[in-house]
Structure 1
Amino acid sequence: MNRPRGLSARLRLTLSYAGFLCLAGILVLATIWVSLLRHLPGVPTEPPGATALPLNRYFVLHALAPATAATLAFLLGFGLLGGWVLASRMLAPLTRITQAARTAGQGSLSHRIRMPGRQDEFRELADAFDAMLEKLQAHVAEQQRFAANASHELRTPLAISHAMLDVARRDPSLDRDELIERLNTANRRAIDLTEALLLLSRGERGHFTRESVDLSLTAEEAAEALLPLAERRGVTLDVGGCPARTSGSAELLLRMVTNLVQNAIVHNLPGGGTVSVDTATGDACVVLRVSNTGRPLAPETLPTLLEPFQRGSERVRTDEHAGAGLGLAIVNSIVRAHHGTLELVSSPAGGLMVTVRLPAAPRAPEPARAPAGAG
């Protein structure tokens, strides 16, 4: 913003200190004068050409006036000098914070203030600014990794398609049906990845129409759609729980539950595994739990599973159903957009339990009862 330049904070503090010191000096000197003039005894004689004041008071006024003026001048100069020095020392931390802000504005997010000394208002501001820079740097680094991984994932099916078309151009005898099928698979993978990226972006923005959604019915719908996949993998799918109504996007919440159930089916035991889906109501919230059997997961890998394109060291993609590593990232984005929480807990025996907590939908007001005897 283009604003007219005013006095600096240092100069305003200096003038404030000097003005306050001069005002205090004036009050002190005025008190002394009043006391002297009230308590000095009067003498009836008057010097030639003097006013009607008593002699002692006349002497006090003419003798102390120059000293009083000199004292006020000294207080003003001392206040200006001392105020400038004090203001400089007091505003030194603010200067460091300003320099750090300008450095960050130029794109350097690694700079930290790290203000020394005991805790006060300026150091609280510096610590808050350092924490903000740290989160911003981590967010930018995450976005850079996301862009790099997204580019890599999108380039893979395009490179496969380009290679197959190049081979088909050089070898006219290549089976066209097989080529079309492989191209369709690569194209479908690119489309699915693009749709997943768009859904992730939509969840991050949080722009959607809210409506009342029962997570228990959503879980049944997702389980019914994924039942053939579970049967092919020999996974038992168990869905239960009580009605759990929340407020949000029915489409996004269905994708959230679908991703969790599909993830639990895919990353499971080779045969004889189980997936349990349960809904419940809590204090002002609804709870969705999806747990499965599977390989043991190291606790330190759990936070990385929520990042885009991260699958963990033990979570290996075995077929097209494992996706591109965006499943839990999309779930996390949808949960945040609905002001909920997401918790991952690994079982020592193997497998993962995912707990989603969302705000409960407000209850509809009960209809007013008719008075007794009305009809």
Structure 2
Amino acid sequence: MSETQVSGEDFDFIRRQVRDFVRTKVVPRETEIMRADRIPDDLRTAAADMGLFGYAIPAEWNGLGLDLVQDVELAMELGYTTLSLRSMFGTNNGIAGQVLVGFGTDEQKKQWLARMAAGEVVASFALTEPGAGSNPAGLRTRAVRDGDDWVIDGHKQFITNAPVAGLFVVFARTAEPRPKNPGIAVFLVPAGTPGLTVGPKDAKMGQEGAWTADVTLDGVRVPADALVGGDEAAGYRAAMTSLARGRVHIAALAVGTAQRALDESVAYAATTTQGGTRIGDFQLVQAMLADQQAGVLAGRAMVREAARAYVSGEDRRIAPSAAKLFCTEMAGKVADLAVQVHGGAGYMRDIPVERIYRDVRLLRLYEGTSEIQRLIIGGGLVRQAVAGP
């Protein structure tokens, strides 16, 4: 799957615009978003007008056409504020949109991608089930051929943007798994299709404003042209490719969030006193800031290298998992240190680092848990060694 790159000058303009939007329009309203558990309509409209619903969708479909090297730079800007902002348009650009970009037929792309890029349609990536998450091989949702149609039955959970989705990219088993053929296909199921039901919005630990819900498919009938790529075998490849790309994006998002936690910690340490002494003058506080800074710098460099290797085709498996593993774990440590630097204030609900502490916990779980990343990395290294040069 090749990617074209927006010119450096154009991208610099886009990044500056996004940074200004995040820091001047969204950051001041984080508490409002957290309390209401929703992104205000004016911010959604502004994001759509800026092209954020389609920043990684090719320009031919009215997207901004950013490649992954540019995507991660944007993700680090978006990570600086509540992660629910990015989640609002993340599935369009990420795991759902990239399935269509990389594997959709011309007609499927024509039908959906321009509308997704404009924010008219939100797409949900319906993969996770009670028995299958980080490893799609455990899928139980089934699709059975019935004449010219497919009939889909199954249950999905934790599906991002499901309550507002106009399109569900549904993974289903069409055959029993065999060597080199997991028997998984991908289907495009529009919202409102008879038999498709979205459950109530989930109540989560953090990331208020990012909505997830269960999705039930009970005898959902779709035509043959709903099969992504017109090919059953494309399904598993679509999942693996989209997840690998998404893992680099999530790693970059984690770096942006860690940078915000660090900035909040430094500002607090520089202005707060204890016993008449600025806490930033205490060596143990300085040590915590140093650990935060080292993690952020390492994560940023790692994300940029993983994105470069992905775009060049040099490494689209091990590096994405390594970046996702390191950066999300790092963000958790940086957020924990941020609360520690703030002391009791860091435990208060309206303090940014308290929200960040809860928000980043999910980063180690979705788009492949840290444990799955370790298996991908370790197993991949052994297979490379066995295969030889």
How does the TM-score come out when normalised to structure 2? 0.26
